[in-house]
Amino acid sequence: MDPVDIFLIALLIAGVWAIAEFAITLRKTRDTLNSVSDSVDDLNHAVGQLVDQTTPVISKIDGMVDDLQPTVRELGPMAENLNVVIDEATVSLDKVNHILGDVSSATSGVAGVGESAGRIVSTATSAAVGVVSKVASLGGINIPEGQQLIGKGNPEKESQSVEATVAHTEDEHSSRKGGYVTYTTVSPSSDNK
């Protein structure tokens, strides 16, 4: 055998082996392409179903947007009207606050006038009682201890004393019947025996 024959046999074996490897690679590529094609078909089917399911939803959303268009157009004027109403309410609240401030000032002024009038009346009453007391003491009139004239002490006690005197006088007038005075009975005490 000649070396060229050996070389041709080796080349023939390498060629057969390369063709066999090429055939195996083509088969694996075809299987892979079939698998990818099946996956793409499954994906296309899933996307088709998703599109079919979302089409009614999209049409409903489109209808809702169409229904909302008039409302959206009215929101602008409504917002302007709302701003006007809020501004008017703020002005009204400012006016009420001003009025309440005036009322507060007026009531505090009236309270001050009432206190001043009470002090004036108390002072005038005390002065008149003082004059009557002086005249009574100059005229020799002796006023019993429980029947002291008012004007020499606490105005609250004087007011209570006047009320007690008026109540006592009313009791005396109510005990008179037909122009006669009736006296209540007094039991003798142990001091008189």
Closest by CA position to 150, among listed 116, 125, 119: 125
pLDDT at 89: 86
**142 vs 109, more confident:** 109
| pLDDT score recorded for residue 76 | 79
Give the single-character DSSP code of 184. -
Predicted confidence (pLDDT) per residue in 53-97, tens digit: 888 888 888 888 888 888 878 777 888 888 888 888 888 888 888
pTM for this structure?
A: 0.30
- pLDDT given at position 99: 83
What integer pLDDT is reported at residue 22 of this predicted model? 94
3-state secondary structure 123-181: HHHHHHHHHHHHHHHHCCCCCCHHHCCCCCCCHHHHHHHHHHHHHHHHHHHHHCECCEC
Contact 115, 109 (CB under 8 A): no
Q: Which residues lie across from 177 on neighbouring strands?
A: 180
Give yes or no for residue 49 having a pLDDT over 80: yes
